[in-house]
Amino acid sequence: MSRKGQTILVTGGAGYIGAFTVLELLNADFEVVVIDNLTNAYQASDKKKPECLLRVEELTQKHVAFHSVDITNRKELTSIFQQYKFDNVIHFAALKAVGESVAKPLEYYRVNVSGTIVLLEVMREHGVYRMIYSSSATVYGLPDKLPLTEDMKTGDCTNPYGKSKFMVEEILKDLCVSDKVWSITSLRYFNPVGAHPSGNIGEDPNGIPNNLMPYIAQVAVGKREKLSVYGSDYNTPDGTGVRDYIHVIDLAVGHLQAISHQHPSGFQVYNLGTGRGYSVLEVIRAFKDASGKDIPYDIVDRRPGDIATSYADASRANAELDWHATRNIDDMCKDTWRWQQKNPDGYKNVSSPFCPDACSIKSK
State the catalytic residues: 161
Q: How many CB atoms lie within 10 A of CB 236?
A: 17
140-147: long-range contacts, CB 8 A cutoff, minimum separation 24? 140/188, 140/310, 141/307, 142/307, 143/307, 143/309, 143/310, 146/277, 146/309, 146/310, 146/311, 147/275, 147/311, 147/312, 147/313
Contact 173, 200 (CB under 8 A): no
What single letter denotes the amino acid at residue 73?
N
- Bridge partners, 228 (sequence order): 298
How far apart, in whole angstroms, are the C-alpha atoms of residue 102 and residue 218?
25
Residue 186: strand pairing partners: 133, 269
Q: What is the Cα–Cα distance from 103 to 341, expressed in whole angstroms?
A: 33
From residue 3, give the alpha-carbon distance in Å to each of 84, 130, 297. Answer: 16, 15, 47
What distance in Å separates the CA atoms of residue 9 and residue 88, rounded to the nearest whole number?
A: 6
Element (H, E) at 341: helix 329-342
